[in-house]
Structure 1
Amino acid sequence: MDLTRLGPLPGARCLVLGGCGGIGRSYVSGLLAADARVAVLDLPASMAERPPEAGIEAVPVDATDDRALTRAIDGVAEAWGGIDVLAFLTGMNVAIRPLAEMTMEDIRRVIEINLISAFTATRAAMPHLKRSPAASAVYVASGLHAFVEPGFSAYSASKGGLVSLMKVVAKEGAPSLRANAVAPGAVETAFLSGGLGHGGTEGEPGAFMRQFGDAHAERVLSSIPLRRIAQPEDVAGPMLFLSGPASQYLTGQVIYVNGGRFAP
């Protein structure tokens, strides 16, 4: 094994759900640099806003449409003869508000997009992954699944469910399929304003912190030992590690990517 190599082996067949967002694009760029084959599945609106790079198979699909998502995954697997890596980055949140002020429509929407679609994607991909000699499933969860904050009830619950799903997949998929998750803190992407394809915009560097004002921004930054908000590549790096052979003895694990703010 080449311990100097980050990411999957050349030619690895990588299916990326939610690959048009900030973290997704950074991760996909790393996959391409590793000479992997990449298919990106994302909302049509997300693909229109941020089209995938040349050489990527782009599949517009709504992840909440169970049948369409299953057909899309089966179609890619059939065209490629299998799948080696499943990366799940699909996710969104509504406005931050107390549970008592949330509508059931908003709660269902967050859980359907963040969690139910992960069940659909994993269920469809597992038969193809388990035929791979060394498959990996990588999920993007959130530190809010463990370190909850007021106003994030549905989001935290959906990400907690995603982590539990990952752990079950790690046991059911072994020994041929590994499953792990990354749990970021705040990352400077369109997700912070709703998510690409759900009305979010990329914004300018530092926009997330500026929206809270200088005093609050300083309190947040002072709570992070590395003294900054994460950038997409900060999360993409651990994802690439979990996607390839350098992490071959890791499964059922969560890597927290939060600059040291929380240490489980």
Structure 2
Amino acid sequence: MTAPLEGRTAIVTGASRGIGLAAAAGLHAAGANVVLTARTREAAEAAASTVGERALGIGAHATDQTRARACVDRTMETFGSVDILVNNAGTNPAYGRVLSQDHARFAKTFDVNLWAPVMWSQLVVEAWMQANGGSIINTASISGLAPDPDLGLYGASKAALIFLTQQLAAELGPGIRVNAIAPGVVRTRLAELLWKDHEPEVAGRIPLKRIGEPEDVAAAIVFLAAPSSSWITGETLVIDGGQRLGATIPDVTAADFRAGDSAGDRT
């Protein structure tokens, strides 16, 4: 059976660890050539070495336009196309209430989480996708879908990224599809503050009773990159184990149910 992404090439930003690295590995397993970027060349090359022979690591900070352009140029020279872009690089230096943040943290959050996806999308569209089509996938967050007292600025940047996904899908169709994924709490360094010291409690509030793994999110990214999702654009796919459903119903055994029924409590 032919791999669904055989012959295609993907760039994944922020791919030295976590969701980015898992996405790169998933795309590679699906047959794609993969370029992994990270802030340093050493980190990018080390990550690429774990992915496979069709993986290339390039040092390019997400907001550095000169390095980003060089990365796209080298991708074209090495593999001949840029069919998939995963805008995964993200940051959150602004944990806490919105009005406690300063301009430096505001600017860094929006530069990395919103401007970088715009810039990288511009570059790959100009280099390949405008003439040949492609798929762009943005890593948003469920924090962009509802307020959170400690993630307000981060959530605002991700809400803007979700809107940007819709806007670019409208502008770039029909040849280029643009979608986003919105993970919940995932076992990554960026999200450690949300789970590291109290994982059982966090997992207990999720219907599927566990926090996410990077591979859970990577599978969704591969799906959105593949031809099997060819009629999907402008959408945000939530991957959160049911976290947005809120507090779950306590476990009730069959014996509990029968006891309540016999007492006339069933409605």
TM-score grouping bracket, smaller chain normalisation: 0.7 to 0.9
Q: Deviations over 1:11-44 (max 9, x none)?
A: 1111111111211121111122122111112210
Aligned to 2:62: 63
Q: 1:45 to 1:149 in 2, by over 3 A?
A: farther
Give, as a single letter, the amino acid of the residue that structure 1 aligns with 2:210.
R
Stretches of 4+ aligned residues off by more than 4 angstroms: none
Q: CA deviation at 1:74?
A: 3.1
- What residue in structure 1 maps to residue 33 of structure 2? 37
Residue 16, structure 1, aligned to residue 12, structure 2: yes
Q: Which has the larger radius of gyration?
A: 2
Q: What pairs up with 1:213-228 in 2 under 5 angstroms?
A: 217-218=200-201, 220-228=202-210
Alpha-carbon shift at residue 135 of structure 1 (Å): 1.2
How far residue 241 of structure 1 moved from its aligned partner, in angstroms, is 0.2
Structure 1 position 77, deviation (Å): 2.5
Letter in 1 for 2:118: F
2:125 alignment partner, SS class: helix
1:33-63 deviation per Cα after TM superposition (whole angstroms, max 9, x unaligned): 1221111122107716953224211110111
Asked if structure 2 preserves the Cα contact closer than 8 Å seen for 1:9 and 1:244, the reply is yes
| Per-residue deviation, 1:169 | 1.5
Tell me by how many angstroms 1:67 deviates.
2.6
Structure 1 stretches lacking a partner, 5+ long: 195-207
**Contact preservation (8 Å) 2:180, 2:237:** yes
Aligned partners of 1:82 and 1:131 also within 8 Å: no
Bigger shift: residues 40-49 or 180-189: 40-49
The yes-or-no answer on 1:126 pairing with 2:108 is: no
Between stretches 240-249 and 11-20, larger displacement belongs to 11-20
For the 8 Å contact 1:224–1:260, the answer to whether it is kept is: yes
Q: Which moved more, 1:97-106 or 1:251-260?
A: 97-106
Structure 1, 72-81 or 221-230: larger mean CA deviation: 72-81
The corresponding residue for 1:259 is 241
Q: 1:67-86 residue pairs with structure 2 within 5 A? A: 67-86=66-85
In the alignment, which of 217, 237, 245 is matched to residue 235 of structure 1?
A: 217
1:114-153 correspondence runs (5 A): 114-127=113-126, 128-132=128-132, 134-153=133-152
Q: Is residue 178 from structure 1 mapped to residue 164 from structure 2 by the alignment? A: no
Higher relative CO (Cα under 8 Å, sequence separation at least 6) belongs to 1
How far is the alpha carbon of 1:90 from its aligned partner? Answer: 0.4
Give aligned pairs, total.
242
Shift of the 45–59 alpha-carbon distance from structure 1 to 2, 3 Å rule, reads closer
Q: How big is each residue's C-alpha offset from its partner over 1:59-91, in whole Å with a ceiling of 9 and x where there is no partner?
A: 101112223212322332244332111111000
Partner residue, 1:160? 159
| Structure 2 spans left out of the alignment, 5+ residues | 246-267
Change over 3 Å in CA distance of 1:139–1:48 after alignment to 2: closer
For residues 172 and 94 of structure 2, the distance between their equivalents in structure 1, rounded to whole angstroms, comes to: 36
Higher alpha-carbon deviation: 41-50 or 52-61: 41-50
Q: CA contact under 8 A between 1:180 and 1:242: conserved in structure 2?
A: yes
Percent sequence identity is 29
Secondary structure of the corresponding residue to residue 19 of structure 1:
coil
Output the CA distance in 2 between the equivalents of 1:92 and 1:156: 11
Q: Which of 198, 223, 226 is the equivalent residue of 1:244?
A: 226
3-state DSSP class of the match of 1:51? Answer: helix
Amino acid at match of 1:236: A
Q: CA RMSD in A?
A: 2.4
Verify the 8 A CA contact 1:187 1:231 in the aligned structure 2: yes
- Structure 1 contact 70–120 (Cα < 8 Å) conserved: no
